[in-house]
Amino acid sequence: MAPSSDAACPSEVEIELFPFIRVYKNGNIERLFGTRTVPASLDATTGVASKDVTIDPATGLSVRLYLPPAAGAGAKKLPVLVYFHGGGFMVESAASPMYHRYLNAVAARAGAIAVSVEYRRVPEHPLPAAYDDSCAALAWAVDACAAGGGGSEPWLAAHGDASRVFLAGDSAGANIAHNVALRAAAEVIAGVMLLHPFFWDPSNTMAPELEVRIRREWRFMCARPDAKLDDPRICPTSAGAATLLAAMPCGRVMVAVAENDFLAPKGRAYHAALLASGWRGEAELVDTPAQGHVFHLLRPGTEAAAEMLGRVADFISRA
């Protein structure tokens, strides 16, 4: 089913999840934002080159790769950042202008190769399609780095360090990063960054209308009217999930929240649960005052966004 405009959708609305999406009774889907794309390119500001690579033609899984100028500075291998975009599993893409700009900036600042994953989206492909695609993209990136000069993907083969692979994402993408990390082998991931993660936590109540919204969204994402919010994929602090957190297969995790983001209590609860789980790693909480959800993406020219970019780059460069 292809995205449609209001003019092309005379049918009645069956489901509306504002601000993301409308689904019409005739099957048309209208994405309310995040539909613009930009091509891969050589970024004049940062000097970062990008290109699109198809991983699985059968599913349409692809990635946008970002190669920083640091790749030409010598024979030293570079860290690799596998990034999952946000958008409620419904909107945005690896080619969205906002994410293209951000990954250019991160790759340049951190001196890292970035792998931005174009996973399948809801509702055409309910969860766990996005998780499965993202796991496949991580495995592909690690294999491409490990292949060395004879690998099929030359940027990763020549410049990617398979021992310094990081996962990161914002909002729904942070949810993906967490779930991909739990499914990864222990030796694969150096660290995980969860930026304003989309999680549920029953111990931190929010306004009733927001609780109803998250319940509706999760059922829609799973295409199951009986989907429960105690599912550890959306509620990693649920009963029984502590054993999953304790097995987080990396030594470092950064959780970033913003004071004016209604999801901030969920991120703080995740950080606390990770520390309490028995996991033997370093967990950092970045709590930005007076800012809202994904402010670093929406207002990239601000001082707060620059500070967040620096924290992300530092997390990678400390490996």
Cα 137 to Cα 159: distance, rounded to the nearest angstrom: 17
What average pLDDT does the segment 229-251 reach? 93
Q: What pLDDT is attached to residue 235?
A: 96
Type of residue at 76: K
Cα 229 to Cα 31: distance, rounded to the nearest angstrom: 24
Annotation says 171 is catalytic: yes
- Model pLDDT for residues 183-209, shown as the tens digit of each residue: 998 789 999 999 999 999 887 667 888
Q: What pLDDT is attached to residue 10?
A: 59
4: pLDDT strictly greater than 70 = no
7: pLDDT strictly greater than 60 = no
Q: At 150, is the pLDDT very low, low, confident or very high (cuts 50, 70, 90)?
A: low
What's 293's DSSP letter? T
What average pLDDT does the segment 158-176 reach? 97
Q: What pLDDT is attached to residue 283?
A: 98
pTM, two decimal places:
0.95
Q: What pLDDT is attached to residue 133?
A: 98
Which two tokens mark 86? 């946000």
State percent of the chain over pLDDT 70.
95
- Model pLDDT for residues 8-61, shown as the tens digit of each residue: 545 899 999 999 999 999 999 999 999 999 999 999 999 999 999 999 999 999
Q: What pLDDT is attached to residue 6?
A: 40
- Model pLDDT for residues 59-75, shown as the tens digit of each residue: 999 999 999 999 987 77
| Pairing of β 13-17 and β 21-24 | antiparallel
| Pairing of β 252-258 and β 282-288 | parallel
Which two tokens mark 46? 């940062």
Q: What pLDDT is attached to residue 185?
A: 84
Q: Closest Cα to residue 21, out of 122, 128, 94, 96?
A: 122
Residue 220: which residues within 8 A CB-CB, separation 6 or more?
15, 17, 122, 123
Which two tokens mark 131? 């998780």
Cα 99 to Cα 106: distance, rounded to the nearest angstrom: 10
Q: Closest Cα to residue 196, out of 166, 235, 178, 170?
A: 170
Q: What pLDDT is attached to residue 286?
A: 98
Q: Where are the alpha helices (DSSP H) in the chain?
A: 97-110, 129-146, 154-159, 172-183, 208-222, 242-246, 264-276, 295-298, 303-317
233: pLDDT strictly greater than 60 = yes
| Pairing of β 49-56 and β 61-67 | antiparallel
Residue 108: which residues within 8 A CB-CB, separation 6 or more?
43, 46, 47, 48, 68, 69
What average pLDDT does the segment 81-96 reach? 98
Q: Which of 50, 116, 171, 277 is catalytic?
A: 171
Which two tokens mark 314? 């530092």
